[in-house]
Structure formats: C-alpha cells, structure tokens
Amino acid sequence: MKNLFLAVIISLGITSYAQENQERQKKSPEERTEKQVESLIKELALNQKQVVQVKQLLFDQEKKREELKAKFKATRTDGVKPTPEQRAEMKKIMQDNQNAFKTSMKNILTADQYTKWEQKLEEKKDKMKERMGDRMRNKGISPAQMEEK
C-alpha cells in the first residue's frame, strides 16, 4: 500500500514538472513580451506611454530574436557546427541588436528607471553565469577550462 501511494505521488510530481516545462517552452513572442512588460511595470513603475513604447520595443526584439534563431539554425546543416567566422558574425549581430535595444530603452525610460533596469540586467547576467558555472562543474569542467573556451 505504501509503495503504491509513493508511486502515485512520484508520478504526479514528474507529470506536473513535465507540463510546467512544456508550458514554458510553448510561449509565443506575444506572451513572452506581455510577461516582460508586466515585470517591468512592477519593477520600474512605468507610465502608460512608456508601457506602450516598451511593449512595442520588446515585441520587435522578440521577432528579431526568432528570425535570427531561424537564420542561425539554417547555418547548422546536417549537424555541422558553424565556423568560427560564422559564430563571430552571429555574436556581432546579437551585440549590435542588444546595443540598439539598450539605446531605445534609454530613450524611453527616465534616468532613474534606466539605472534600475541596467542593475536588474546585471543581476540576471550574474545569476545566469552562476547557473552555467554550476552546470559546467557538474559536467566536470573547471572554471579555468570555461574561461579558455
């Protein structure tokens, strides 16, 4: 009886985790934009004009990201990795897009809001580096090896 109960609990946990994971991956660009805008409204206290401008900017960025993702996937034909030149080009395109996005955000937000927004970006970046470091250490790759790559 205990084993049956335990099996049911475990299967429910796995099922709910899998569904959660699928829901996260299936979000459309519009849904991701809405979620980001809601977060920015709370964090930065955006006014109505800013909400409209930020929403459009984020939506445009999502569209560009989807287009670039498709373009970069097309370069990986038959499982062949992109050349170093192709990767450098991809990186430059992404950095140019990011710089243009930051410039647009700077024009939309007040100086105080922009400072808060940049701090949040840095926090997210640091958190991502931590998670990547943890994942790499779990795979047996040292921080020194990560820096070499």
pLDDT tens digits along 55-103: 999 999 988 888 888 888 877 766 778 888 888 988 899 899 999 999 9
- Sign for the CA dihedral angle at 101, 97, 34, 119 comes to negative
**Does the global pTM surpass 0.85?**
no
- Dihedral (Cα; 98, 102, 104, 108), 10-degree rounding: 150
Q: Would you state the pLDDT for residue 13?
A: 65
The pLDDT tens digits for 22-66 are 555 677 878 888 898 899 889 889 899 999 999 999 999 988 888
